[in-house]
Amino acid sequence: MRPGRLLWVALLLASAAGVGHAATPEEAIIPLERYTSQKARALATAYQNRLKQIYTSIYHCYEWMEIPKRGLGFVSPKDAKGDERYLKVWVWIDQQVTPAFAAAASHQRASAMLQRYGLGLLRRLSSYPDLLGEPALTGFAVVLTWMKPGGAPRPGVLGINETLAIFVDKTTLQRFLKRQASPAEFIERSIVNGFDGATALGRLPLEIFPLGTGTDGQPAC
Residue 218, pLDDT score: 60
Neighbours of 3 (CB within 10 A): 7
Residue 71, pLDDT score: 95
Residues in CB range of 10: below 8 A, 6 or more apart:
98, 100, 101
Instruction: Give the pLDDT of the chain (221 residues) as one tens digit per residue.
Output: 444 443 444 444 444 444 445 688 899 999 999 999 999 999 999 999 999 999 999 988 887 889 999 999 999 998 778 899 999 999 999 877 788 888 899 999 999 999 999 999 999 999 999 999 999 999 999 999 998 988 777 776 677 899 999 999 999 999 999 999 999 999 999 999 999 999 999 999 999 987 765 556 566 57
Residue 16, pLDDT score: 47
Domain ranges of the chain: 3-202
Spatial separation of the C-alpha atoms in residues 117 and 121, rounded to whole Å: 6
Residue 76, pLDDT score: 94
Spatial separation of the C-alpha atoms in residues 25 and 56, rounded to whole Å: 8
